[in-house]
C-alpha cells in the first residue's frame, strides 16, 4: 500500500470512529480544498456526521457558490451559521467596517463576532467536531494532533487530515472529481473572508495570504484558541 493510500485509509477509519463512537458529531467546513476532501469522504461513505459552515457575511462569491455545488454534486445542504446582526452592527458603528486592519485586537474581535460566536452555537449539543486543519499549513499548526481534548467546548476535536500534504489533498480532489473553490486556481491556497485574504506568491507559506499584514504567530481567528492561546493536546 502506498503512503497516500495508507493515509487515506487511516482518515476514513478516523471518520468512521467519530460517527460511531462520538455521535452526534459535526464537521466545520470552510468550503476550501481540505474541507471538500472531508465533505466528499463523509458523504461518499454515508457517515452520520453533520456538515456546517460559518457564513460570516464577508465571504468571496466563489466560496458561497460552493454551497450550490455541494448540493448539485451530493444532494446535500450544508447548514449555515451566521453572526448576530446586532453584534455586527455595533462593531461597524463603533469601529468602522474594516477596523480589523487597525490592530490584531480589532481583527480578533471581528473574528469573534463573525466566526467564534456562531461556531459556539453550531457546536452546541454535540460530542465532537471535525476540522480540515493540517500540520503543513502554518507554523501555528506544526504540533497539530489528530484528536484533541477541546476544553473550551467540552468535547473532542478531530483533525483527520493532520498528516496530509498539499499534494495529497489535490491528488484526492482530482482523482475523485471533487468540486473545489475556484479561488484555488487563482493563487489562493487558504481562503477566509474576502477582505482578509489575498493570493500568494510562489514559494510563500500556504497561509501567507491570510491576514497578510500580521506576523505569522498571530494568524489564527480564534476558532482554535482558548483564553487567547493556541491550544494543542497530544493525541489521545
pLDDT one-digit tens code per residue, 96-153? 999 999 999 999 999 999 999 999 999 999 999 999 999 876 565 567 899 999 999 9
Residues 188 and 199 sit within 8 Å (Cβ to Cβ): yes
pTM over 0.85: yes
The pLDDT score that the predictor gives to residue 221 is 53
Extended beta strands in the chain, E state:
25-28, 50-54, 79-81, 128-130, 147-150, 155-158, 225-226, 229-230
The pLDDT score that the predictor gives to residue 141 is 57
Q: Is residue 5 classed exposed, middle or buried when 0-12, 13-18 and 19+ CB atoms within 10 A define those classes?
A: exposed
Residue written as cell 454535540?
126
The pLDDT of residue 2 is above 90: no
10-68 pLDDT, tens digit each: 999 999 999 999 999 999 999 999 999 999 999 999 999 999 999 999 999 999 999 99
CA distance 83 to 54: 8
The pLDDT of residue 233 is above 50: no
The pLDDT of residue 212 is above 90: no
Please list, in sequence order, all residues whose beta carbon lies within 8 angstroms of the beta carbon of residue 156, skipping any fewer than 6 positions away: 22, 127, 128, 129, 147, 148, 149, 150, 236
Q: Is residue 230 classed exposed, middle or buried when 0-12, 13-18 and 19+ CB atoms within 10 A define those classes?
A: middle
CA distance 196 to 164: 25
Active site residue 43: no
User: Which one of the listed residues 70, 183, 208, 221 is annotated catalytic?
Assistant: 221
C-alpha distances in angstroms, 191 versus 88, 194, 203? 21, 8, 17
Q: Mapping DSSP to helix (H, G, I), strand (E, B) and coil, where does residue 29 land?
A: coil
Annotated binding-site ranges for [4Fe-4S] cluster:
110-111, 193, 196
Amino acid at each position: 500500500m502506498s503512503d497516500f493510500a495508507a493515509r487515506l485509509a487511516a482518515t476514513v477509519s478516523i471518520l468512521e470512529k467519530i460517527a460511531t463512537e462520538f455521535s452526534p458529531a459535526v464537521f466545520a467546513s470552510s468550503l476550501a480544498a481540505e474541507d471538500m476532501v472531508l465533505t466528499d469522504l463523509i458523504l461518499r461513505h454515508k457517515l452520520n456526521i453533520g456538515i456546517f459552515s460559518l457564513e460570516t457575511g464577508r465571504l468571496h462569491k466563489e466560496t458561497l457558490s460552493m454551497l450550490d455545488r455541494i448540493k448539485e454534486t451530493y444532494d446535500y445542504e450544508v447548514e449555515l451559521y451566521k453572526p448576530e446582526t446586532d453584534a455586527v452592527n455595533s462593531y461597524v458603528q463603533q469601529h468602522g467596517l474594516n477596523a480589523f486592519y487597525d490592530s490584531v485586537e480589532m481583527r480578533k474581535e471581528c473574528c469573534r463576532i463573525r466566526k467564534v460566536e456562531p461556531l459556539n452555537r453550531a457546536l452546541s449539543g454535540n460530542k465532537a467536531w471535525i476540522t480540515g486543519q493540517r500540520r503543513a499549513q502554518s507554523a501555528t499548526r506544526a504540533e497539530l494532533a489528530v484528536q484533541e481534548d477541546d476544553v473550551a467546548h467540552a468535547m473532542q476535536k478531530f483533525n483527520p487530515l493532520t498528516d496530509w500534504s498539499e499534494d495529497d489533498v489535490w491528488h484526492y480532489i482530482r482523482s475523485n472529481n471533487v468540486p473545489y473553490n475556484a479561488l484555488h486556481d487563482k493563487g489562493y491556497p487558504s481562503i477566509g473572508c474576502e477582505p482578509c485574504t489575498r493570493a500568494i506568491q510562489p514559494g510563500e507559506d500556504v497561509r501567507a495570504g491570510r491576514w497578510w499584514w500580521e506576523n505569522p504567530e498571530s494568524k489564527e481567528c480564534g476558532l482554535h484558541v482558548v483564553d487567547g492561546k493556541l491550544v494543542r493536546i497530544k493525541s489521545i
